[in-house]
């Protein structure tokens, strides 16, 4: 009888060990596919300890931000009420500005091929020479309507000679299933044309956050020059999502109360991450700098 008990116990131990190993293999496979559990911050960044730059009054409602070729010496920005582009050094208490158009709901800015490009919420794009910005007199502004499908847009980014626009709320789109993006070409004379599309699987983002369903409404996107990954920011969802270079979501990070209303995002060429926040009656608009630190 004792021998039978011992043999039974040994069999249970072997089966249990085998099940545990199989479970680990499945978990390892899941990691290989790039889907990982929710964490506190992307590798190399501490989202709880930023360097904070308060914005002057005219940038209370700062929206998009951008660098020219990743040069951190000058930040370009716009706000969502006036047709002006602003530029300043990190830490400046005043911002230089130049007018490019009428008042409107402008949401993001990108710098590419010595041109500045502004995205309005209705998908209209405005391009003009970057040199004219610092000259204080912007001439030759070109406006492009209906290049993007009907919808509400907040995200624009320049990378690899192309512009990337991401829809926040597009007509006929189910934002619990996918989010649509558009690739644009910018010619030397400032002309813009659509050259391609991409799609983000929102169901993958929902799975990463542990939710059965999520309606995703992005407000900014930028590409990390160090890792090659895409970062997508959603102010509505208070999420920062990391995607691979094929637009597959691999991780999602909840944003804490320090992100008042995150609307803009950019990386400098060292991989440092900048996120702009609109202010309110009690708080200035700001830019939060998260310095990149290589994992040891």
Any domain includes 113:
yes
Query: Do 177 and 157 reside in the same domain of the chain?
Result: yes
All residue ranges of the chain with pLDDT < 50 are 1-38
Query: Do 90 and 230 reside in the same domain of the chain?
Result: yes
pLDDT score at 282: 86
Query: Do 163 and 272 reside in the same domain of the chain?
Result: yes
Any domain includes 296:
no
Number of domains in the chain: 2
Query: Do 47 and 26 reside in the same domain of the chain?
Result: no
- As a whole number of angstroms, the distance between CA 53 and CA 92 comes to 8
Any domain includes 295:
no
Structural domain range at position 162: 37-290
Query: Do 28 and 42 reside in the same domain of the chain?
Result: no
pLDDT score at 203: 96
- As a whole number of angstroms, the distance between CA 267 and CA 11 comes to 56
Q: What are the beta bridge partners of residue 97?
A: 86
**Could you tell me which residues come within 8 angstroms of residue 194 by beta carbon, excluding any fewer than 6 positions away?**
147, 148, 182, 183, 184, 185
Closest of 249, 295, 294, 286 to residue 51, by C-alpha: 286
Residue 193 near residue 240, CB atoms below 8 Å: no
Query: Do 276 and 250 reside in the same domain of the chain?
Result: yes
pLDDT score at 83: 96
pLDDT score at 155: 97
Query: Do 56 and 99 reside in the same domain of the chain?
Result: yes
Query: Do 26 and 42 reside in the same domain of the chain?
Result: no
Query: Do 46 and 110 reside in the same domain of the chain?
Result: yes
Any domain includes 119:
yes
Q: Count CB atoms within 10 A of the CB of residue 125.
A: 24
Q: CA Rg, the chain, in Å?
A: 23
- As a whole number of angstroms, the distance between CA 241 and CA 269 comes to 20
Any domain includes 156:
yes
Query: Do 26 and 99 reside in the same domain of the chain?
Result: no
Closest of 61, 110, 68, 56 to residue 82, by C-alpha: 61
Q: Count CB atoms within 10 A of the CB of residue 296.
A: 3
pLDDT score at 46: 95
**Could you tell me which residues come within 8 angstroms of residue 286 by beta carbon, excluding any fewer than 6 positions away?**
52, 53, 54, 55, 62, 260, 276, 277, 279
Any domain includes 228:
yes
Query: Do 239 and 94 reside in the same domain of the chain?
Result: yes
With DSSP H G I counted as helix, E B as strand and the rest as coil, what are the percentages for the chain, rounded to 5? Answer: 15, 40, 40
Any domain includes 265:
yes
- As a whole number of angstroms, the distance between CA 282 and CA 55 comes to 13
Query: Do 22 and 101 reside in the same domain of the chain?
Result: no
Any domain includes 13:
yes
Residue 152 near residue 167, CB atoms below 8 Å: yes
- As a whole number of angstroms, the distance between CA 290 and CA 286 comes to 13
- CATH number for the domain harbouring residue 42: 2.120.10.30
Residue 65 near residue 274, CB atoms below 8 Å: yes
């Amino acid at each position: 009888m004792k021998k039978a008990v011992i043999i039974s116990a040994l069999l249970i131990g072997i089966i249990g060990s085998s099940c545990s190993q199989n479970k680990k293999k499945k978990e390892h496979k899941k990691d290989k596919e790039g889907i990982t559990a929710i964490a506190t911050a992307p590798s190399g960044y501490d989202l709880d300890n930023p360097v904070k730059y308060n914005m002057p009054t005219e940038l209370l409602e700062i929206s998009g931000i951008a660098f020219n070729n990743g040069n951190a010496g000058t930040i370009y920005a716009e706000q969502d009420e006036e047709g002006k582009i602003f530029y300043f050094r990190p830490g400046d208490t005043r911002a230089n500005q130049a007018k490019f158009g009428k008042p409107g709901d402008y949401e993001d800015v990108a710098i590419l091929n010595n041109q500045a490009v502004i995205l309005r919420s209705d998908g209209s794009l405005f391009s003009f020479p970057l040199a004219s910005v610092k000259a204080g007199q912007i001439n030759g502004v070109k406006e492009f309507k209906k290049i993007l499908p009907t919808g509400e847009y907040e995200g624009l980014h320049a990378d690899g000679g192309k512009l990337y626009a991401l829809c926040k709320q597009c007509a006929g789109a189910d934002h619990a299933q996918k989010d649509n993006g558009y690739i644009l070409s910018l010619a030397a004379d400032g002309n813009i044309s659509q050259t391609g599309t991409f799609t983000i699987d929102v169901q993958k983002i929902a799975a990463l956050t542990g939710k059965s369903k999520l309606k995703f409404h992005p407000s900014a996107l930028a590409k990390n020059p160090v890792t090659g990954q895409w970062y997508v920011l959603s102010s509505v969802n208070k999420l920062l999502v990391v995607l691979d270079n094929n637009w597959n979501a691999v991780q999602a990070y909840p944003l804490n109360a320090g992100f008042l209303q995150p609307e803009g995002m950019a990386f400098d060429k060292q991989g440092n991450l900048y996120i702009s926040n609109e202010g309110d009656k009690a708080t200035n608009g700001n830019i939060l700098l998260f310095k990149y630190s290589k994992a040891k």
